[in-house]
Every structure is written in structure tokens, then in C-alpha cells.
Structure 1
Amino acid sequence: MVAQLLLIIGLLVYPGFVFSILYGGILIWIYRKIRARMQGRRGPPWYQTYADIMKLLSKETIIPRNAWRLGFIGAPIISIVSLATAMLFIPIWSSKPLLGFVGDTIVLLYLLTIPTFAVILAGISSNSPYGIIGASREASLLVWYELPFWFSIATILILTGTLSVEKIVSTQAALGPNIVRAPLAFIAFIIAAQAKLAKRPFDIPHAETEIVAGPYTEYSGVLRGFFEINEALKWLTISSVAATFFLGWPITGSPVFNALLFTVKVALFAIIFAIIDVVNPRFRIEQAHWPLWEVALIIALIDLVRILAWIGV
């Protein structure tokens, strides 16, 4: 009974839904603060993300007359559920995640892909010109960043010889962080993750000056608030995957220290993504393939081949 209660608490509170939203909101605040400071502005207070979400959740939701209601309503919910579930596969206070089994890395990667399809669904379901263009751009970007993203993770799986998130972390605790052992795969991951977050220079699907808010243009009220929650969860999950697969070290005997160290590492990667966003202009859609396929994919494959040769495959 106690074990079941702890599992429910873990699913709903920590490291589940509540923690993910709260810490994801902090990461968005860090991003906004860095962006403001580098532009000579003061930036928002720490609670701004939560205030924005609460304001949206309190407003009326208007669904366009020509929209496909099921897809329009379901898209943000699907995205939130997939990202919140993905966090359950991330070890926080030890090397063992709340949900873990052999091959859980594959499930985690699929869960991280679902939100992109949800955004595409949102844009198409809205039946808005801006939404459809944004969805089309999101689909194009998906084709370009998923390969380097998956190949960078595949490099880590081959390097550690396991598909288990727990064993990937424990291997780093014994042999050192993968960021040192697979540096090219790490660089490829960062480039692909920046596109997965849809941040500059890859914020093409949501280019405000071109297509308003892209797939989110027709969203308002509660459903728009859900997409704001989705944004917070996306920042947290992508940064958590980076911290787990490339900086899953050290692991101590203190769960509290491990959890604090994890939050610091996640914040560090969020800062990296924020700085990349601020210092880069937006690519045009036809320019995005160059850094993703001709840089990230190639260096990920180089590291993959190097590690295969090193282990004698």
C-alpha cells in the first residue's frame, strides 16, 4: 500500500506533473531573463510564466468554426501527457528513474517525438492559413532534426552498451560523463535539441513577424494555456535528457544532493539553449537543413563510427 501511494505521489507531484510544470516555468524564466539581459532589458519576475498560464486558463476558449474540434482540442493535451510521462523515465535522486525497464530509452525517444506531431496536428486542425504554414514548417524541421537527434543518442547507447536509462547513468558514474567520451555526439545533440525546442535559429514554425504564432495562432484561453504548459515541459524534458545522457555524473549516496545536482545541471543546459537563441538570427526554412544535416548529422555519424571502431564492432 505504501509503495503504491509513493508511486502515485511520484506520478502526480515529484518528479511527475506538478514538479515538471513548476521547474519548467523556472527554466522559461531563466531563458527570458537571459534574453532580456543580453538585450539591455531588466526582464520579467520569476513568477511571470505561472501568471501567464493562470491568466490564459481563466479566459474563454474560442474554437474556430472551421476547425477540426477533436484534433484542435486534443493536440495540446496529447503533447502535455507525452512530455509529463517522459519525465518519469528521467532519474533525478539516484540512477534509477521512477519508471524504468530494459529498452526504456526507446520509449523515451518516442515520447519526445509526439509533441512535434501534436503541434503539426494543432496547426492543421485549426484550418487557419498561418496555422497550416506553421505546421508545414514544423514537419520540415522534424525531418531535419530527428536524424541527428536520434543518432547522437544512438552513439551513447552503443558507447554504454545498453538501452536502459538507469544503466546509462550508472555507467557514467563509474567511467565519467559521456560529454567527454562522445563530444561530437554532444554537439550534434545540442544543435538538434535547439531545433526540437523551436528556438533561434530554428524558431521557423512560430516566426511572429511572418506567420503570427504559427500553429498556435487560433488558440486562446485554456487550450492556449495548455500549450504554455507544454512549452515549460518541453524545456524541462529536453534539458533533462541532455543532463541524463551526457552529464549523468556524479551519483552519490545522498538522494537530496543528487536531486539538487540534477536541477543545477538541467538549468545549465537551459542556459546553453537560451544563449544560442539570443546570439543567433532566425534561419529561413531553406537554410535550416544545413546545420542539422550537414553539420549535426555528420558529426554525430563520425562519433558513432569512431565508437564502433573503438569497441571493435
Structure 2
Amino acid sequence: AQLLLIIGLLVYPGFVFSILYGGILIWIYRKIRARMQGRRGPPWYQTYADIIKLLSKETIIPRNAWRPGFIGAPIISIVSLATAMLLIPIWSSKPLLGFVGDTIVLLYLLTIPTFAVILAGISSNSPYGIIGASREASLLIWYELPFWFSIATILILTGTLSVEKIVSTQAALGPNIVRAPLAFIAFIIAAQAKLAKRPFDIPHAETEIVAGPYTEYSGVLRGFFEINEALKWLTISSVAATFFLGWPITSNLVFNALLFMVKVALFAIIFAVIDIINPRFRIEQAYWPLWEVALIIALIDLVRILAGIGV
């Protein structure tokens, strides 16, 4: 049993699977973007090649950087996202490390990478990095509320804080995407900002601030942030698949795992298409879709469900 747990933590559905499938999701995003722009696009292994190339290069740390924060930021982000994946059920309704109240822990783990990006930008002591960190902090304030309220709607709808019970409830009553459609739309908008993809790629605007918080990163540490990007695509898409489309669950574990991967890819495609068809917002423009649209419709669904259960 301990050996199976170790394999689960390290290989499937642990760290190795998360990086490999996260890389596939980034490839899907790049491929769709290339096709919509009339290009051929990269081969399927391009993400892994980029990561390996960066990991093999020299890491240069700026002289004025705060070393603990500069080095620790990408590592903290990777650990939090990899741990979050262990709270997501893949082949059944039960996550590998599931427990009562694991949804709250999952939400906190998904917030840590944003603080890691802010830490990276500030620690670099670079003007571009600090501006990017400032933008990331502003965006965080605007997207976390609708993100949390959309998930809170699902928690109230299913009457549980357990990821396992959220999935099993959908298996019995149908997907939450149908039962809470406004919360789903709010989640997609907030998740797009959480991924820092257009129209919310404000902290990493290449034409304005180079690579934002990542500007001073190179070599292994830059490679870690590329791994972080793959994990972020996977975890956000997995949360969408679990909380809003956690249905059906069959007795065939292999079928369940394959179906889960298809659903995750579907949500990754949704995020990719939104990114490709939209221009970048200015920082002050991000307030409107996140608070005046996403937050309000999430609250509407929340109130509707509370009224429906007589609270």
C-alpha cells in the first residue's frame, strides 16, 4: 500500500503525469493559436524540449536580487500546484489524498502560485519585474473573489466541502455545469485571469514589460517557471472538470481516467480559444469583466441556490 502511494505521488497521478499532461495542454494551446493564425504550429514534444533546454542552461541570478525569494518562488509554485493535483480525483470519485474539507485546501494551494509570481517579480529587483508583480497583485484582488464565489456556489449546491462528494453528487444528480450555469461562466472568466491569459495577460505583457516578473529569470529557474505554467494549465482545467463536469463515474477506472483527460483537454481548449480571440486589457479594464460580470453572476447563482434550499 505504501509503495502504491509513493508511485501515485511521484508518477500517476502525481508529479510526472502532471508535467507530461500539462505539457500536452500547452501544446494544444500553441497548436490552436498557430492554426487560427494560418501557421503549422509546434510538434507535440516542443514544450518538453523547451523545458529541457532551459534546465540545461546556466542560471544567472541578478546581483541586486533577493536570493531566497528569487530562487524559492518557482519552487514554491511547483510544489503547491503538484500537491493540488493530488486532491483531484482522476480515475474514480476519490482523490489520492482526499479528506474532509479538502476543497478549502485545494483553493489555498491554487492561490499560492500567484503569490509566488509576485514574490519572483519583487525579489528580482528589476523595474519590469516589479511592475509585473504589481499588476499581478492588482489582478489577484479582482479575480480571486469571483473564483471563490463560483466554487462556494458548488459547495452549497452539493452540501459538502469534500471533493469526493462533489464528484459523487454529480454522478447521481448530473453535472454542476447544468445546475449552476452562471457560476460556471463566472469560474471560466476568473480562471482565465488566474491563468494570466488574454484578455488578462496584463502582468506578462511582452510589448510593455518584456516578461514581467520572469524578466530576470534564466536557466534552471526559468525552466521551473515553464514547468509551473504546464502545471497551472493542468490544475485549473482539472478543477473545472471536477467541480462542473464531474460526471459520469463508471466502474471502469481506465475509462474514467481517459474521460477525465478528455474533459481537462476540453477546458484547456476553451481557455486557449478565449486567449486567442481577445486582445489584452489594460489593467484598469480588467475590473469590469471580473467584478461587474463574473462576481455578480456568481452571486446571483449563489443567492438562487440558497433560496432554493431554503437558507
What's the TM-score, normalizing by structure 1?
Answer: 0.99
Query: Per-residue deviation at 1:59?
Result: 0.1
- Give aligned-pair identity as a percent: 96
1:22-49, Cα deviation, whole Å (9 max, x unpaired): 0000000000000111111110000000
List runs of 5+ in structure 1 lacking aligned partners: none
1:54-107, Cα deviation, whole Å (9 max, x unpaired): 000000000000000000000000000000000000000000000011100000
Query: Per-residue deviation at 1:132?
Result: 0.1
Write the distance in 2 (CA, Å) between the matches of 1:172 and 1:153.
14
Write the distance in 1 (CA, Å) between the matches of 2:139 and 2:40.
32
1:241-260, Cα deviation, whole Å (9 max, x unpaired): 00000000000000000000
Write the distance in 1 (CA, Å) between the matches of 2:58 and 2:241.
38
| Aligned twin of 1:82 | 80
1:212-233, Cα deviation, whole Å (9 max, x unpaired): 0000000000000000000000
Write the distance in 1 (CA, Å) between the matches of 2:242 and 2:105.
15
Write the distance in 2 (CA, Å) between the matches of 1:99 and 1:169.
15
Write the distance in 2 (CA, Å) between the matches of 1:128 and 1:20.
31
- Runs (4+) off by over 2 Å: none
1:284-305, Cα deviation, whole Å (9 max, x unpaired): 0000010000000000000000
1:231-270 to 2 correspondences below 5 Å? 231-270=229-268
| Aligned twin of 2:134 | 136
RMSD of Structure 2 on Structure 1 (CA): 0.2
1:132-156, Cα deviation, whole Å (9 max, x unpaired): 0000000000000000000000000
1:239-285, Cα deviation, whole Å (9 max, x unpaired): 00000000000000000000000000000000000000000000000
Write the distance in 2 (CA, Å) between the matches of 1:160 and 1:66.
50
1:173-226, Cα deviation, whole Å (9 max, x unpaired): 000000000000000000000000000000000000000000000000000000
Q: Does 1:27 align with 2:45?
A: no
| Aligned twin of 2:273 | 275
Write the distance in 2 (CA, Å) between the matches of 1:134 and 1:202.
12
Write the distance in 2 (CA, Å) between the matches of 1:241 and 1:39.
29
Write the distance in 1 (CA, Å) between the matches of 2:75 and 2:268.
24
Query: Per-residue deviation at 1:122?
Result: 0.1
1:89-130, Cα deviation, whole Å (9 max, x unpaired): 000000000001110000000000000000000000000000
Write the distance in 1 (CA, Å) between the matches of 2:238 and 2:303.
26
Write the distance in 1 (CA, Å) between the matches of 2:40 and 2:280.
23
Write the distance in 2 (CA, Å) between the matches of 1:42 and 1:276.
20
Write the distance in 1 (CA, Å) between the matches of 2:186 and 2:37.
27
| Aligned twin of 1:172 | 170
1:200 is paired with a residue whose SS is coil
Write the distance in 1 (CA, Å) between the matches of 2:34 and 2:212.
23
| Aligned twin of 1:123 | 121
Write the distance in 2 (CA, Å) between the matches of 1:40 and 1:145.
32
Query: Per-residue deviation at 1:237?
Result: 0.1
Write the distance in 2 (CA, Å) between the matches of 1:160 and 1:111.
22
What's the TM-score, normalizing by structure 2?
Answer: 1.00
Write the distance in 2 (CA, Å) between the matches of 1:17 and 1:205.
27
| Aligned twin of 1:285 | 283
| Aligned twin of 1:151 | 149
Write the distance in 2 (CA, Å) between the matches of 1:288 and 1:77.
28
